[in-house]
Chains A and B, each alone.
Chain A
Amino acid sequence: MNSKHVVSDEAPAVELAGITKRFPGVIANQNVNVRVERGEIHALVGENGAGKSTLMKILYGMQPADEGTMEVGGKRVNFSSPRDAIDHGIGMVHQHFMLADNFTVLENIILGSEPLKGGGRIDFNQAHDKVQALCDSYGLEINIDDLVEDLEVGERQRVEIIKVLFRGAEILILDEPTAVLVPHEVDELFRNLRELRTQGKTIIFIDHKLDEVLEISDNITVLRRGETVATVGASEVTAPELAELMVGAELPSPGEREGAIGDAVTFKAENLTITEADGRKVLNGVSFQIHDKEIVGLAGVEGNGQSELIDALLGIRPLSAGRLFLNGEDLTNSAVSDRRAKGLGYVPEDRHRRGLLLNFPLWENAMLGYQRLKPFSKRGFWLDSEATRERTEEIISRFDVRTPNMDVAARVLSGGNQQKLIVGREMLSEPEALIAAHPTRGVDVGAQAAIWESLRAARDEGLGVLLISADLDELIGLSDRLLVIFRGEIVAELNPETITPRELGGYMTGAGATTEAANG
């Protein structure tokens, strides 16, 4: 499918051809081709890790491509820094806003390009007029005298847009602009984007919310695993078709399992809710059960409440409402250390931040999470380094952790080996229930297979696992049941053996309509 909605006959605003970018162990972009006409709104969609952000960073001069060419306005270009891109009329609105809270909107906009009036003084009148003119002509409603910290998220985004317009951008790149907006702010943003398009600006934006993408864009390019899958006109494709393109026509087949799911409920979450100070519910009535010998997968696009759920399950973040039980015991108000001691294991989503003490030797890392328990300490006070080292030895050999010895600092190990160490540490402590969050993120294929194997084996022995992941291979290959989380709620419970890509992609991106709650 390659139909296009051609907007003008001039040279395209941007043409990327054959872009390839490699990182150690990963190919982020492979022979990517994207063509964006002037005055077009063009969306770049794909799952997490499909290569969208990398591509835009290359376009904005933040990273060089390894292979391929870029043309802007028909001319071949080669950017070595964002300044080059800015000089060519490209402006980027980052996902993480670059705004000083303590400055006014005006100050943030003019910083580095201040209009002067002699003696180094800033000409605030001129600045005010220029910026106000921009706001008026593009219909961007903002009070430029406000302090940025008083602004809502949607308004801050507008400031970022004005910032690039102030510097003469003709082509705007927006990186997941709707990720943090509530629906009425999204409407406002789209209104602004249409106005910009009317005035001849070109807009490229990265998104994976398919309904929004279909609503606003003229054309859509789909990336999957670093490659261009298709470029389609928005009016010629439906959401389910898009989802299928994103996810692939075929899903991996689930793995084999021995034995049936156990009857006993190991872990139960009831109506978990977390309400933020501004009233937003980041978790809204999440309920699920995990049985013995069961892996329950939780699918969802990052940022839909997974982190908050993990924090709540661990005990790091208090619940506004709801209860949770481990083996029938109510742990809702228990401290983190209690929950770990009672058998709640945890493979963290960010091993460097939550899973390891990078400057500590491996054998000390082997007891992280279990240091109060045997065999790591006697009576919870004296460290038993001998027993700990024995256990570390066991972890290293059974989980194939490649390391010169157990005294090296954890940071020396490769990502895959670090992850294997963590998985081994959790498994050998024989948890009752395990939270495995993105357990093979950033891990090489060999380590990944090994970790999957150990999860399956532990499941077969009786472990109940909550598997949170963005990797569909992983989710479908390992889970016995699949839940989908979207905007803090469980929106579907699916059977990994019968799920179709459209369905799964649809639920994950909110295009699905069902509100089937997950129950045991």
Chain B
Amino acid sequence: MVERIKFSLAAPVVAIVVSILVGSLVLIASGANPLAAYGEMIRFGFQLETIVNILNRATPLYLSAVAVAIGFRMNLFNIGVEGQYILAAFMGAAAGAELAFLPGPLHVVAILFVSMVTGAVWAAIPAVLKVTRGVSEVISTIMLNAIATGFLVSYLLAKWADQSDTTLNIQTKPIEESGWVPSLNGVLELFTRDIRPGTELYGFLLIAILVGVIYHVGLKYTRPGFDLRASGENPAAAEASGVSPKSTVIAAMLLSGGIAGLVGLPEILGRTHNFGLQFTRQLGFVGIAVALLGRNHPVGIAVGALIIAFLDSSSAVLQVKSDASPEVVKIIQGVIIFTSVVAYEVIRRRQAVDEARSAAEALAQPSPHGSHGEGAEPMVDPAKQGGRS
């Protein structure tokens, strides 16, 4: 058990250490002092306002990573989270503006509903293509991303833009207050000092936590969750146990898309109240990275999201207080992601080798006449060969 924890933590720790080293080298090369830079970042990072910012950034990242992780658990690459969340956020904002007649909580729920359905539908397309025509979901989701963001959203945004806005911003009509998710500052201030105005803790944080809980409970404690995990781990065994591979693919993608639909909402329902050109993009791809960092585990993903968010938020201080350029955090983030996947793979291979060795040692006990069959050889089915090897 201790061995397993050791193995699980080793990779992220290695990744972080390596990226800090690389970041330091880069800083030194550019003439800055890494220790001073890191110090500034940490000092700034633990201020209350920054913590609020970190949590705000981490919330959509967490949702995005959970969406991706659901796919990963089924061995599906939902790279389409990017397109799904942007399209869903746009639809949610546009619908939200029209649904102003709904009372408070109902208005918010309606927006959530629209966004989740949009995301699920957009994810259903690659799912159906995969199940019926065998189209790789990697390719179809990449194409659908471009269609969603470059074509659909661009076109519809221009078409449905708020005409009453006199600024140069192109954005959807604003959502009335009944569709806002209230900030948690009040709650937070019960525990800490007053927060400086201008910084609000997204209430959507609670929804994100709820999603995380449902993700965890659903996968671990329900039978459909077991079916999904089993199908991702070993489709042949799952099929023999009664799990339909096609249904599971579709279900997983729908779920993934539905959660992806929520990714853009913290920002829209908590701050901007419309969808405009300033809407944060790329969260789908960063979500993939966070899911990888967190190893698809609900708590691991949360930690990963917080780390990335911390790096983003605290780098702002570097501009002002040191001669290190804030862009170095982008490199640190990239290196963390890259090294973590390499480290995971290396460690996984080490683990497999270790186990094989200990298993072989255990089996090396002598037996009277050996077992039947050429034990080390896999089953050969001559009827299958001769075709595509």
A residues lining the B interface (CB < 8 Å): 23-28, 48-49, 51, 53-54, 95-99, 101, 149, 153, 156-157, 176, 179-180, 282, 302-305, 307, 314, 316, 335-341, 346, 348-350, 353-360, 364, 367-372, 376-377, 380-383, 385, 407, 411-412, 414-415, 438, 440-446, 448, 471, 473
Interface positions, chain B 367-384, Cβ under 8 Å from A, are 367-383
Contacts of A24 in B (CB 8 A): 360, 363-364, 375-376
List B contacts of A304 (CB < 8 A): 383
Chain B contact-residue range equals 35 or more
Query: Does B113 touch A at the CB level, under 8 Å?
Result: no
Contacts of A48 in B (CB 8 A): 373
Bound Cα distance A411, B371 (Å): 20
Cβ A381 vs Cβ B240 within 8 A: no
A336/B372 contact (C-beta < 8 A), A25-B363, A349-B379 known = no
**Cβ distance A404 to chain B, nearest Cβ, rounded Å:** 10
Q: Are A49 and B373 in contact (CB under 8 A)?
A: yes
Partner-binding segment picked from B150-158, B241-249, B304-312, B317-325: B241-249
> Closest CB of chain B to A55's CB: distance in Å?
10
15 extra interchain contacts, Cβ-Cβ under 8 A, other than A26-B370, A369-B240, A407-B1? A23-B375, A24-B375, A26-B371, A26-B375, A26-B376, A28-B376, A316-B239, A316-B240, A336-B240, A357-B234, A357-B237, A381-B222, A412-B359, A414-B363, A444-B363
Interface of B toward A, CB cutoff 8 Å: 1, 220-227, 229-230, 233-234, 236-244, 355, 359-360, 362-364, 367-383, 385-389
Which residues from A are CB-within-8-Å of B385?
Answer: 95-97, 179-180
Supply 16 A–B pairs (Cβ within 8 Å), ascending by A. A27-B370, A54-B377, A97-B386, A101-B388, A340-B241, A350-B378, A357-B233, A364-B226, A371-B223, A376-B223, A381-B222, A412-B359, A414-B363, A444-B367, A444-B371, A445-B371
- Is chain B's binding surface mostly helix, strand, loop or mixed? loop
Given contacts A316-B239, A354-B237, contact A372 B1 (CB under 8 A): no
Looking at B242, B359, B385, the one whose CB has the most chain A CB atoms below 10 A away is: B242
Distance between A138 CB and nearest chain B CB, rounded to angstroms: 21
Across-interface contacts of B382 in A (CB, < 8 A)? 95, 176, 179-180, 302-303
Contact present for B239 and A380 (CB under 8 Å): no
B241 touches A350 (CB 8 A): no
Chain A interface, DSSP helix/strand/loop, else mixed: loop
Partner of A360, one of B233, B371, B375: B233
Which residues of B are found within 8 Å of A381, using beta-carbon distances?
222-224
A491 CA / B227 CA spacing, docked (Å): 40
Complexed CA–CA distance, A495 and B364 (Å): 38
A341 to B243: give the CA distance in the assembly, Å.
Answer: 12
Evaluate contact between B237 and A355: CB separation under 8 angstroms: yes
Q: Which residues of A contact B371 (CB under 8 A)?
A: 25-26, 442-445, 448
In the complex, A339→B378 CA distance in Å?
Answer: 28
Q: A23-B375, A383-B221 are in contact. Are A368 and B370 (CB under 8 A)?
A: no
